[in-house]
Structure 1
Amino acid sequence: MDIDKAIENISRDTAEIIEIDELKELLKKDEKVAYVGFEPSGKVHLGHALTIKKMKDLQNAGFKIKIFIANLHAYLNGKGTLDELNKVAEYNIKCFKALGLSEDDTEFVLGSERMNMDFMERVFHAATLISIKRAQRSMAQVSRDETHNVAEALYPIMQALDIHDLNADVAVGGMEQRKIHMLAREILPKMDLNTPVCIHIPLIHGTDGSDKMSSSKGNFIAIDDSPKDIKDKVNKSFCPTGVVEDNPVIEMAHYYIFDEHEKMLIERPEKFGGNLELTEEELIDVFSKEELHPMDLKNTVSKYLIDRFAPAREYMENN
């Protein structure tokens, strides 16, 4: 394996990797595991798909992939009853399969199926090593409730121990998971357990321009949305004229067009300037100069997204 090339592929579109040198050593191993956990709390959207893209990069680098469906964690986080969450979990697993991970090297694990006394003994041990305030602080970007409760201390401890329980060498998550991952790197060595490499994925802005795409906020594009729904949602997305930074439509182009295409074709009537074929750098330039109307950008991005997720829609319809 070309380790430098693998590092380049894995590093692309990540917010950070802690630590690169540790990842290089892992890449030399014949057997290695990368894990990501998802709460089963709603639709699988473009933000989730970005994380699955990274899992595919790790899989291509020789990692076995474990997708942890954190139903107990979602319960602690007030996302619903276990029965409700288990039904959503079935749908989520189907979505993740639809996104194209190799099923030969991917394992789906339901959190409640891993619960046993050995695991809980490690949770209790870890609980003696951390203050309630430290645990709550690690939950700041994850917790759904503003009211502090015991679950805020249990959740990050359980997640840290999940990493060991799944024999994971690498833990992947959005930037909202960073503080919990740092907690894991802090307490696992104190328990004579291996420290994971942590890979953090940027958070995609919601279609409304808010900081995070979320099924609970309704500001998302799901991977199994119909072509009409995709077009409607993109057309309604926050996309101020000339504004590039924190623009969700620009982000969609970056993550889901320019990752596979060197140039993007924007089709326009001649009276509005005719067609444009732009690299990402050129797109940023013409849009920031207000030489491209937001609706022309939106029409183009929705067309590419519809094509991009056609295989996922087909999988969902046929399985």
Structure 2
Amino acid sequence: MDIDSTRNIIKKGALEVVTPDELDEKIKKNQKTAYIGYEPSGKVHLGHAITVKKMIDLEKAGFKVKILLADLHAFLNGKGSLEEIKEISDYNAKCFRALGLSEEAEFSLGSSFQTREDYTMKVYQLALLTTLTRAKRSMAQITRDAEDHQVAEVIYPLMQVVDMLFLDVDLAVGGMEQRKIHMLARDNLPKLGFPSPVCIHTPLLHGTDGSDKMSSSKENFIAIDDEPKVIKKKIKKSYCPAGEIEGNPIIEIAHHFIFSERDRLVIKRPDKFGGNLDLTQEELLKMYKNRDLHPLDLKNSVADCLADILEPVRNYLKKTHK
């Protein structure tokens, strides 16, 4: 694959690449590593799936993919005891495999190296280079809302930067909520004598309630292993204002998970409401914006199609859970 084709695969669907010139240099390397970290959580949902799809793209582009199951980060972010968090990590790894990551993708628990003396020393060195204000700002979209913040919140981003060093990362992937931490890594790793990673940022999927981010803690998510009737119920209740495209989670789900797989979406409607439609993404957006397509018809069709697309994921998880 030539460099232009490789670059196009990597940049597809990304909001930004920091920086494109550096990405070209990474692509030319014979051995190159892309990483993303996830806090182990109860359910893997469509928001996670957007970034997993990007990691699959990076595998196709010749990168070794490393997935950090960040159990200590989750602990610092108040997601439960270490025992509870570790228990869910294996299931999360199976979910990411179910979404299509290859067997060559490498999974690591953060606790497998984050308590080492050399790791801890790098965190201390980074702490000397980072202001309290910047550390707190970098966590603004990641931590849970609280009036009185924990010291753990400023340790978290420092550890995430050092993770990139210990995992020998050429390229870091994350949603836009990770951007400030990634920029912290780019600014400060060279001060410790190490190169900056290229950073790729993917869109955040709005929650089914219309809030800024799909999140298991907010119960505004569609899990990748939800049964079709559950998907239908969640989407039927979802925020989907008539005529509005921006910030509409149902439109976003269609974009990221249906039209990325298929060229057209069939909208099933009774004859008295105009009958079935067979639409491209452009046609769907135009009709919806003009209010020629009812939100309920859109919801029903997206729910059916999404359930069909996720069927192999559900089957994989049922098989591996036995």
Q: Which runs of 5+ in 2 are unaligned?
A: none
CA distance in 1: counterparts of 2:155 and 2:89, whole angstroms: 21
The aligned counterpart of 2:103 is: 103
CA distance in 2: counterparts of 1:31 and 1:151, whole angstroms: 35
Deviation per residue, 1:43-79 (Å, 9 max, x gap)? 1000000100000000000001000001101111111
| 1:318 matched to 2:319 | yes
Q: Which runs of 5+ in 1 are unaligned?
A: none
CA contact (8 A) 1:77 1:145 kept: no
Q: Which amino acid aligns with 1:121?
A: M
C-alpha deviation, 1:145, in angstroms: 4.7
Secondary structure, counterpart of 1:212 in structure 2 = coil
The aligned counterpart of 1:82 is: 82
Secondary structure, counterpart of 2:225 in structure 1 = coil
C-alpha deviation, 1:217, in angstroms: 0.4
Aligned ranges for residues 55-70 of structure 1 at < 5 Å? 55-70=55-70
Secondary structure, counterpart of 1:128 in structure 2 = helix
Deviation per residue, 1:105-146 (Å, 9 max, x gap)? x00000001121111111111111112222111111112252
CA distance in 2: counterparts of 1:225 and 1:152, whole angstroms: 32
| 1:260 matched to 2:261 | yes
CA distance in 1: counterparts of 2:207 and 2:86, whole angstroms: 26
The aligned counterpart of 1:282 is: 283
C-alpha deviation, 1:148, in angstroms: 2.1
The aligned counterpart of 2:111 is: 112
C-alpha deviation, 1:31, in angstroms: 0.6
Tell me whether 247-256 or 84-93 shows the greater mean CA deviation.
84-93
Secondary structure, counterpart of 1:265 in structure 2 = strand
CA contact (8 A) 1:16 1:200 kept: yes
CA distance in 2: counterparts of 1:176 and 1:112, whole angstroms: 23
C-alpha deviation, 1:24, in angstroms: 1.0
CA distance in 1: counterparts of 2:192 and 2:145, whole angstroms: 30
Give TM-score, length-normalised by structure 2.
Answer: 0.97
CA-based RMSD of the aligned residues comes to 0.9
Deviation per residue, 1:73-99 (Å, 9 max, x gap)? 111111111011111112111111111
Once the two structures are aligned, what percentage of the paired residues are identical? 57
Secondary structure, counterpart of 1:93 in structure 2 = helix
Aligned ranges for residues 104-253 of structure 1 at < 5 Å? 104=104, 106-115=105-114, 116-146=116-146, 147-253=148-254
CA distance in 2: counterparts of 1:285 and 1:303, whole angstroms: 21
